[in-house]
Amino acid sequence: MPDPMPITPLGRTQRRARSLLATGFLLLALYTLKNFLPALLWGSVFAIATWPLYRRAELRFGKSDWLPMLFTAAIALIFLVPLSIVGVKAAEEAQSVLRWLDDVRHNGIPMPSWINKLPFERAAAARWWQNNLVNPEHLAKLLHSFDATHSMAVTRQVTSQVTRRATLFLFSIVTLFFLLRDGADIIHRSLIASNRTFGQRGESLARQIISSVHGTVAGLVLVGLGEGMLMGVAYILAGAPQPLLFAMLTAVAAMVPFLALPTVMLAGALILMQGKMIAAIIVVAIGAIIIFVADHFVRPVLIGGSTQMPFLWVLLGILGGVETWGLLGLFLGPAIMAAVHLLWRIWSSDTPQDHFT
C-alpha cells in the first residue's frame, strides 16, 4: 500500500480553521437554543428511558409514523393525567381553605380534643392554643399580614411559571416524537461521530450514561411511584384528608431521596388535627419504614447496579444535580457522575483497555 500523504502546513491550518468554524457554529447554536435546552434534554431523557420498549414494539409491529405518535401520546398522558387530577383537587381545596380562613377570622380555631391527650406538656399546649388560636383578634393580626397585593403578585408569578413550564413540556414532547421516529439513524450517526472523535472510549462513556438514565428512571421514578401507592393505601385506611392527592404528592416527593418524609409528616399532622393520634403515629411510622427501605436498599441496587457505581456517587449525583439543574438534575446528576466514575476506573486501572471490551 502506498504511504499516506503527509499533512502539509497548509493542511494543518485548514484543519484548525475547520475545527474553529465548527466550534463557533456549535456555540452559536447552543446560545440560540439556550432557553429551550431544558426541553431538549427532557425529550432526550424520555427517549432514552422509553427506547428499549419502543424498539421491541417497532420490531413487532413494523416501522411507521403512528408508533412514535402513540408512544409520545402515552408519555404525555402519564404526566398530564396526574397533573390534571392534582390541579382539580388543589382548586377544590383552595376554595375550602378560603372558606375556612373566613370562618377562623371571625370565630377562631377551636381547640381539638387530642390536645388533652398529649403525654406531656398538655397544660402548656392547651394554654398556648387558647391564647393564640382560639382568640379571633390574634388570628386576625396573623392573617392580616397576607394582604391582597402580595397575593396578586404571587398569583402572577405562579401563572408565569405555569405557562413557561407548559411551553417547555410541549417542546419536550415534540422532541421525544422526533427522537423516537429517527432514533435508529441518530444512534448510527452518533456512533460514527463518536468513533471518529473519541474512538471506542466515547461509545463506552455514552453507554455508561444511558445505563445511568435507565437505572435512575427505575430507581427514582418507579420506586417513587411505588412509595406513593403504598402510602396512598395507608392514607385511605387512616382516614387522611384527600388521600389521593397526598399519595400523588408523596410519589413525586419520593423521587428525590429523603424528600418524601416531610409530605408523610404533613399528612400525619392533618390526621392528628382530626383527633386521630394513633392513626397519625402509625402513618408516620409506616412512611418512615417505607422510605428507609427504599432509600437504603432498593434504590442503590437499581441505580448503582446498572452502572456499577457506589451509592454515595449516586446520592451525590442526585442531590447535587437537583441543586444545580433543578428537577432535570435527577437524571443529569447521576449521568454525569456515572461518566466520571467510568473515567476514574479507566485512569486508576492497570489495564484500562479491559474496560472497553
Give the pLDDT confidence score for residue 355 in this predicted structure.
47
pLDDT confidence of residue 181: 92
pLDDT per position as a tens digit, 171-185: 999 999 999 999 989
How far is it, in rounded angstroms, from Cα 157 to Cα 153? 6
Least confident of 152-156, 277-281, 352-356: 352-356
pTM across the whole model:
0.70
In this model, does residue 286 exceed pLDDT 50? yes
Region of residue 64 (phi > 0: left; psi between -120 and 50: alpha; otherwise: beta): beta
Average pLDDT over residues 73-96: 79
Instruction: Provide the grid cell at 105.
Output: 377570622
Does the structure show a pLDDT above 60 at 237? yes
Give the per-residue pLDDT at 357. Answer: 43
Which pLDDT score is estimated for 4?
Answer: 53
Domain ranges in the chain are 30-181, 198-357
Cβ proximity of 180 and 72 under 8 Å:
yes
Q: Provide DSSP, 110-155.
A: PPPGGGGG-SS-HHHHHHHHHHHTS-HHHHHHHHHTS-HHHHHHHH
In this predicted model, which residue has the larger pLDDT, 98 or 28? 28
The residues, ordered by sequence, that sit 6+ positions from 45 with a Cβ below 8 Å of its Cβ are 213, 328, 331
Average pLDDT over residues 127-153: 62
Mean pLDDT of the chain: 80
| Crossing angle of helices 37-61 and 148-181, rounded to 10° | 40
Q: What is the DSSP letter of 11?
A: H
**Mean predicted confidence (pLDDT) in 309-314:** 80
